[in-house]
Amino acid sequence: MATPHIAAEPGQIAPLVMMPGDPRRADRIAKDYLADAQQVSQVRGITVWTGTYEGTPMSVMGSGMGIPSISIYATELYRFYGVRRIVRVGTCGGMASSVKVGDTVIGTCAHTNASLSTLLVPGVNLSWAASYPMLRGAMDAAQALTDAPVHAGPVYSSDLFYLGRADIVQGLTALGTLGVEMEAAGLYAAAAQEGAEALTVLTVSDHLVDGSNDMTAQERETLYATSVKVGAAALLA
> Which residues form the catalytic set?
206
Using CB under 6 A, pick the residue from 93, 137, 154, 231 that binds ligand URA: 93
| Cα gap 132→46, rounded to integer Å | 29
Mention every residue, 6+ apart, whose C-beta is less than 8 A from residue 167.
none
Among residues 66, 62, 39, the alpha carbon closest in space to that of 50 is found at 39
Determine the size of the site formed for ligand URA (CB under 6 A).
9
- In whole angstroms, what is the distance from residue 200 CA to residue 170 CA? 23
Report what 93 binds from ligand URA, ligand R1P, none; CB cut-off 5-8 Å by kind.
Answer: ligand URA
Write the interaction track for ligand R1P spanning residues 156-195; mark x where CB under 6 A is met and - where it is not.
Answer: -----x-------------------xxx------------
Among 25, 181, 233, 235, binds ligand URA (CB under 6 A): 181
Residues 6+ apart with CB under 8 A from 140: 233, 237
DSSP result, 192-210 = HHHT-EEEEEEEEEEESS-
Q: Which is nearer to ligand URA, 66 or 137 (CB)?
A: 66
Among 47, 50, 69, 91, binds ligand URA (CB under 6 A): 91
Candidates 5, 8, 67; CA nearest to 38 is: 8
Alpha helices in 57-208 (DSSP H): 67-81, 116-119, 132-145, 166-174, 184-194
Cβ proximity to ligand URA: between 20 and 51 the closer is: 20
Q: Stretches 26-34, 81-89, 126-134, 176-184: which one binds ligand URA (CB under 6 A)?
A: 176-184
Residue type, 26: A
Site map for ligand URA, 38-77, x if CB under 6 A?
----------------------------------------
Using rule CB under 6 A, residue 203 touches ligand URA = no
- List contacts with ligand R1P (CB under 6 A): 20-22, 65, 90-91, 161, 181-183
